Chains A and B, each alone.
Chain A
């Protein structure tokens, strides 16, 4: 599925008497103005909550307790980076920020590598049961992770993986695979057969075809998958809540602990929340095209 970003303008056909057409055009133009205003308001409506959080994170505790973030328009001098300095100085929060990378990067790399390999086999190598396997993968797309929490916790306990970053990563990889395979397999099957057959005629091994033919062509799909999977893991709370301990906790889990500790102390909470959002927002703004495509393709997840 590709996102078509080009604009489609609806032109009211000019027909009938000229007087009517002028009127129709006037109404259309007026209506268009209303649409512009409404959509602008909707966009503002969508931005205000995030903007409020950002401002709250940039004001100290006394300012936040005294009045709302919107007073920043009259008192811009209240803005300060003190909350961020304090949060980053907090060893537990800083460690959790790093942990989020230690979890998200390997979980993303592993999913991309394992899913590319499996997708190649499902798309281009004939073997018995291929059809069934593909259908199983499609079925697993919507599997709720709750189903696996208790059994995998037991399994990790027995293997000594419970409470470790490795355990969290492995769980994310397993539950990221169905979507990843689904997305890449769809893309791989779209690659012209001639390309692969020609390589086979030349005596290329499957590994060489995968590396030299498939991967270079599949770059956009792999980019979408990478962005999607990275954000998915980065934003996770539930998996880490169950499988990580205090030392391996990512930022969402650490902030959740702060939430219980601080209660409604919005200056620290908003700062922590915004810190956790910085990476996803940056990734989103830089790679938005790939991310949107990934989400659309992975809508079933």
Chain B
């Protein structure tokens, strides 16, 4: 620092007086922000132990490591999708809130996620997207809608005891049957407690000429004999049964309350008895939101939930700064509301939108906690992002601070354009 003699008569003009004001902050910034930046840069050229100079090897390794490449890919997805989505949603909602009287309350609600930790938000969305439809609200809704259009089967998971082959169409008898036979068809794999209340005790029908008859019952009872109808065992009502000949369904019937079924007019020749698969399909359980394929979109959606309030508030402040005259002039000229929005509002708002967008991009590049918390351990590598990978490599399972430093430097370089953007904006605002 160049010290000048105190040329000004006015007190407080001495540069020396700045020192006590600045020193504490500058010491901390130098020791814990600036020095580390230089240290990380140098450290990134050394190996894991820090003893051996390895040149650019950490960077080469970083760009060839599949885990890091996944993180890169995800960061690209994040940067392309998330900030634009939030800016767009924020713009639409900010414009709409100008039309309502409770705009302040609305913005308050949407801003609230900004106040809570990303960690807590992560837990919130782990619950929202929980796989079990009786836990996660999203899957509960998905299953509800699905079952409205395609109801769940009555006997999920039940299957014949033996003598039937599982095919795509259902369970088909291995041996053919024909008119005059009686079929005894024991089912297992279903809980007696779930049997519909109208079910009656099962009893095998008597053989009838010209008819194929049978009984279908739940062969599960305490101390009962396998494959035989015991007194406490009940028939299973409402199960579809098909008779198939040469690959064609020739007859179809449904079991009664006592489990009996009858094919009256089968004609001559053997048929295969088949229980269609739709009797037994397992209930639809919704989507595996927290699985490998959907995890990144899911985490992005939680980030949108967090950041939209910020975008709305920022854009709303920009909207209210637009001179009413400009809007009125356009309307007087006969422009529709949409034209006013597109031709006047958007161009006047674009500097604000740019700031919001850049801010969101910076935020996205530093995403760490959300991925860390929402992605279950097994899919974390699939949802990985650079900031998380840096922590994993340096402090988590990796323990390689050379590679970790390289990742930190890469992260710094990715943020550097935003740094310049801020400095330029700052300089422009001052002049």
Contacts and interface: CB of A to CB of B under 8 A. Distances in A.
A184 B130 CA distance: 43
A134 B25 CA distance: 13
Interface stretch (A50-58, A85-93, A216-224): A50-58
Contacts of A284: 112, 115
A68 B36 contact: no
Contact of B116 (A36, A197, A277): A277
B111 A9 contact: no
Contacts of A70: 137, 140
Contact of A1 (B15, B135, B317): B317
Interface in A115-172: 115, 117-118, 120-122, 124-130, 133-135, 137-155, 170-171
Contacts, number: 322
A191 interface: no
Contacts of A96: none
A252 B415 CA distance: 26
A174 B305 contact: no
Given A144-B411, A178-B29, A256-B373, A138 B124 contact: no
Given A148-B40, A149-B394, A150-B404, A142 B114 contact: no
A288 B111 contact: yes
A143 B117 contact: no
Interface stretch (B90-98, B154-162, B249-257, B273-281): B90-98
Contact of B117 (A13, A125, A241, A252): A252
Contacts of A117: 20-22, 24-25
A44 B140 CA distance: 17
A5 B96 contact: no
Given A3-B317, A118-B25, A255-B119, A35 B99 contact: yes
A67 B208 CA distance: 49
A200 B116 contact: no
Interface residues of A, number: 119
Contacts of A137: 29
Contact of B11 (A121, A203, A283): A203
Nearest to A299: B359
Interface string B37-51: 101100100000000
Interface in A192-221: 197, 200-201, 203-206, 209-210
A35 B100 contact: yes
Contacts of B13: 126
A46 interface: yes
A273 B120 contact: yes
Interface stretch (B176-184, B211-219, B262-270, B417-425): B417-425
Interface in B299-332: 305, 309-310, 313-314, 316-317, 319-321, 328, 331-332
A17 interface: no
A23 interface: no
29 contacts: A3-B317, A4-B320, A10-B99, A15-B332, A32-B99, A46-B110, A50-B113, A114-B25, A117-B22, A127-B18, A133-B22, A139-B422, A142-B362, A142-B415, A147-B412, A155-B31, A174-B31, A178-B33, A206-B21, A238-B368, A256-B373, A259-B123, A273-B124, A281-B115, A288-B108, A291-B114, A295-B111, A295-B313, A299-B355
Interface of A: 1-10, 12-13, 15, 32, 35-36, 38-39, 42-43, 46-50, 52-53, 56, 64, 66-70, 114-115, 117-118, 120-122, 124-130, 133-135, 137-155, 170-171, 173-175, 177-178, 181, 197, 200-201, 203-206, 209-210, 231, 234-238, 241-242, 252, 255-256, 259, 264, 266, 269-270, 272-274, 276-277, 280-281, 283-284, 288, 291-292, 295-296, 299-300
